[in-house]
Amino acid sequence: MHPKVRHALLYTGVNLASTVVDYTIFLSLTYLVGFPILASVVAYGVGMLVNFALTTNFVFLHDMSHKSRHRLFMEFVSTSLLGLLLTAAIIWLTVHHMNMPPIEGKTISLLICFASLYYVRTRIVFSKNTNTSAPTDAEPASQA
């Protein structure tokens, strides 16, 4: 299998796993408390933490030796804020203005965020080190 195809499949699998967590929390909170935007934000945050753990341990494990774990996490969280804003805006638009059920708004936001964040993360957060010299942080490469 071509490495890029394998990589995309791993990334998709990790995102499916974190999506299950996200949807479970979203649907539970929406049912129990209401407020689909708040439920989506909480669910997205938990899903992001799961996604980070799985992504760094299974998808981009070997590409990140030039970044410290802290830097990697901060970049991941920063790009997740983009996804969070997109998610909240899309759910607001679809649920409150288009009168769609919350699950449909959440699904639309998921698809848009998946494509957007994959593009951003592969080019910024999980970009390969183009500088073959020392790591960019003070931390040694073996501990990243």
Q: What is the pLDDT of residues 89-100, one digit of tens each?
A: 998 999 899 999
Domain ranges of the chain: 3-128
User: In the numeric block, which tokens belong to residue 96?
Assistant: 């409150």
Q: What is the pLDDT of residues 16-26, one digit of tens each?
A: 999 899 889 98
- CA gap 144, 135 in Å, rounded: 9
Closest CA to 29 of 12, 11, 47, 17: 47
> Which pTM was predicted?
0.71
Single-letter amino acid code for the residue at 3: P
